[in-house]
Amino acid sequence: MTLETIWFLLWGILWSVYFVLDGFDLGMGTLLPFIARNETEKRTIYNAAGPFWDGNEVWLLTAGGVTFAAFPAAYAAMFSGLYTALYLLLFALILRGVSFEFRSKVDSDAWRKAWDTCHFLGSFLPALLLGVAFANIFRGIALDANGVNQEGLLELLNPYGLLGGVVFVVMFVMHGSIWLAIKSSGPLHDRARTVAIKTWPIAVVGAVFFLVYTGLETMLFNNYMQNPLLFLVLIGAVLGLISVRSSLGSAKMWRAWAGSATFIAGVTMFGVIGLFPALLPSSLNAGWSMTIHNSASSPLTLKIMLGVALVMVPIVLAYQIWVYRTFSHKITQADLDYKEAY
């Protein structure tokens, strides 16, 4: 296995980890206006994400950093050609981060409502935009011979891209509702579990439509037809989705969350493996695609980065495992009364 291939797989894994971890934050934020009935329930949602959300976004920075360092040509094409979409994504994520900190600064219902709206938009829009972006990458970006995108933001809002956005929103809402059920109790817990149960069939239908549309609109299945063993990734995603429903029925919420995480990771890796060896396929000419071969850094750079990753990634993982274990309990009134609580 070449260094380029190793870094391509790491690139896909980092995006998978980000979607799994920040996905439940984005899902809970999207649910906020619809599921919380009073101030206590709203604060429960904020504090269910509070110890985790900024650490979860480290994986987004890491995935972007790996793109920049390991595949700089692809990074240049992505962050210039998709500049408007990525700027909107960044602005929405900043808005969400600020909402955590500013919401409690003024004792005013109007103030809190304004920041709740910001939190909703800062959660819903990234989920939608990430889905649209990745669906368009699967479909192919209109890159010319110089790696310049010949289409604008409106062209990204094609039916396949929008379907990808909807699938991501549904996945994250289901994932977030399960996490909220884990972290809450009483009526909020019951409503969150109900949302997860009702969202599950929508996720199934969305996933099936997306797979069928993917077969018609993209070349992702080529690698799978050449090596049928790769379908194990897709089977893993399906088994994760089945586990979600069975676990919700028996109220085993942690197992349901693990199944949801498996589903999200499987969907992500299905797309990444289907892309190989391309990072950004060109819809204009396959020869103009950004691949692991024509966009990678030098072998020395990749070797040094691999050494750093082998040291630092386990440290980050160990820290996050400690955080999740430490704050794995349900949110109580004592937690909300804590002076540092959101």
pTM for the model: 0.93
Q: Can you give the residue range of the structural domain that contains 188?
A: 3-223+276-337
Domain presence at residue 86: yes
Domain presence at residue 194: yes
Domain presence at residue 264: no
Domain presence at residue 202: yes
Q: How many domains does the chain have?
A: 1
Domain presence at residue 204: yes
Domain presence at residue 63: yes
Q: Could you write out the three-class secondary structure of the chain?
A: CCHHHHHHHHHHHHHHHHHHHHHHHHHHHHHHHHHCCCHHHHHHHHHHHCCCHHHHCHHHHHHHHHHHHHCHHHHHHHHHHCHHHHHHHHHHHHHHHHHHHHCCCCCCHHHHHHHHHHHHHHHHHHHHHHHHHHHHHHHCECECCCCCECCCHHHHCCHHHHHHHHHHHHHHHHHHHHHHHHHCCHHHHHHHHHHHHHHHHHHHHHHHHHHHHHHHHCCCHHHHHHCHHHHHHHHHHHHHHHHHHHHHHCCCHHHHHHHHHHHHHHHHHHHHHHHCCEEECECCCHHHCEECCCCCCCHHHHHHHHHHHHHHHHHHHHHHHHHHHHCCCCCCHHHHHCCCCC
* Per-residue pLDDT in tens (0 to 9) along the chain, 342 residues: 799 999 999 999 999 999 999 999 999 999 999 999 999 999 999 999 989 988 899 899 889 888 999 999 998 888 777 778 888 889 999 999 999 999 988 889 999 999 999 999 999 999 999 999 999 999 998 888 888 888 877 888 899 999 999 999 999 999 999 999 999 999 999 999 999 999 999 999 999 999 999 999 999 999 999 999 999 999 999 999 999 999 998 889 999 999 999 999 999 999 999 999 999 999 888 888 899 999 999 999 999 999 998 898 899 889 999 999 999 889 988 888 887 778
Domain presence at residue 257: no
Domain presence at residue 85: yes
